Structure 1
Amino acid sequence: MPTASPGPRRRADAERNIARIVSAARKCLSGDPNASTDDIAKTAGVGRMTLYGHFRTRAELIEAALVDALNEGEKVLSAVDLGGNAQAALSRLLASSWSLTAESTALLTAAQGTLPPGRVLELHGAPAERVEALIRRGQDEGAFRTDLPMSWLVSVIHSVLVTAAEETRGDRLKADEAGRVVTATVQSLLTPP
């Protein structure tokens, strides 16, 4: 009776294990940014040795979980209609961005507390480029301010989203109000003086 070759099977098993571990990391860290690797391994249904065979450190695992969440988020954000008036397009983008940020606040907290400074912003490159292009278009239309550095504006928008998510998580801002608050804050930030 012929047997399956162990090479490809191990590779497929490894890929499934990696996917389960990353999914479990997203789930665990989204619930608790301090979730342990033991918790993540247990949720993934793998042993610690398997987890550490794929992710040597907790930081590597957190980064993989964040990258996975950002890749899923990119699919959502790339579908947002950015046509028409820049202010209206920004409101649509913020609504989608807010919902994604709200879902992954604790994961983002874990990443900010674990990854090297600046790495979280670096991983947010594609969303940041989208926001920057929209701001530039709004500036060209005269709808958005031009007196502050672009990198500052994009960073502040990112910070507003993260802060709103933290405020919601801490029950200091109602979840059903957060999208409106984020949009109003960012729109007022971008309004020319």
Structure 2
Amino acid sequence: MAAPSARSRRRADAERSIARIVSAARELLSSDPNATTDDIAQAAGVGRMTLYGHFRTRADLVEAAVADTLRAGEETLASVDLSGDARAAMTRLLASSWELVAESAALLAAAEGVLPAGRVRDLHAEPVRRMAELVGRGQEQGVFRTDLPNAWLVSLTHYILHGAANEVRQGRLARDVAADVVTKSIESALAGPVAS
């Protein structure tokens, strides 16, 4: 039986391997959604057996990379000041959200290619909750439209953000104007008819 210190050392080694693999997956999949597990193992400095010892399938690895990206992004989004006027708060939230989405567009494309339908959305639960609360507050303040359901307006912002990221990735929208295009599109969609 291994001594506790040997087990602790193996556990720490395993955690470091997992962290290197996930980091390599994030980096490679963010530039090429078709990066293979072999590419990722090589970039992480581990063998295929080690990679598959931690992640049984490519989908498991992609999901871990997306979850790690979202955890890091959550730190940024949680620090955005959402107080005061909902329109001004939305502008601040969209600026941070756009940067995160733009950086992870290829990774999300990889995820949508291998994860079950709806899983990518499930992984976005906290950003979706934050956006829903802000949209609801804007509806209560009378600055966001009330003729459409909150859930639809939140989905609409999600579609615009991810659609713009895809347009940038495909070269159909310049990255230097994309943030402005996204913000104007979402603000226009939210500021439609409001209750009188």
1:154: how far off?
1.1
Q: Verify: 1:157 aligned to 2:157, yes or no.
A: yes
Taking every aligned residue pair, what percent have the same amino acid on both sides?
Answer: 62
Counterpart Cα distance in 2 of 1:109 and 1:152: 22
Following superposition of structure 1 onto structure 2, how do residues 169-180 of structure 1 map, counting pairs within 5 Å? 169-180=169-180
Distance in 2, matches of 1:192 and 1:27, equals 39
Q: Secondary structure of the residue that 1:18 maps to in structure 2? A: helix
1:84-140 Cα shifts (integer Å, max 9, x gaps): 110111011000000000100000000111110001111000000000000000000
The alignment yields a C-alpha RMSD, in angstroms, of: 1.2
Deviation readout 1:1-49 (Å, 9 max, x if unpaired): xx99421111000000000000000011001001000000000000000
Equivalenced residues, count: 191
* Alpha-carbon distance in structure 1 between the residues aligned to 2:118 and 2:156: 14
**Can you list the C-alpha shifts for 1:154-192, whole angstroms capped at 9, x where unaligned?**
111111111111111122111111111101110111113
Mapped partners of 1:149, 1:83: distance in 2: 22
- Could you say which residue in structure 2 is the equivalent of 1:10? 10
Distance 2:102 2:115 in 1: 20
Q: Quick one: distance in 2 between partners of 1:119 and 1:152? A: 18
What is the DSSP-based 3-state SS (H/G/I as helix, E as strand, rest coil) of the residue aligned with 1:147?
A: coil
Match of 2:31 in 1: 31
The more displaced of 146-155 and 118-127 is 146-155
* Counterpart in the other structure of 2:97: 97
For structure 2, list consecutive stretches of 5 or more residues without a partner in the other structure.
Answer: none
Q: Letter of the aligned partner of 2:79 in structure 1?
A: A
Q: How does 1:130-149 map to 2 (within 5 A)?
A: 130-149=130-149
Partner amino acid for 1:74? Answer: E
Unaligned runs of 5+ in 1: none
Q: Which residue of structure 1 aligns with residue 50 of structure 2?
A: 50
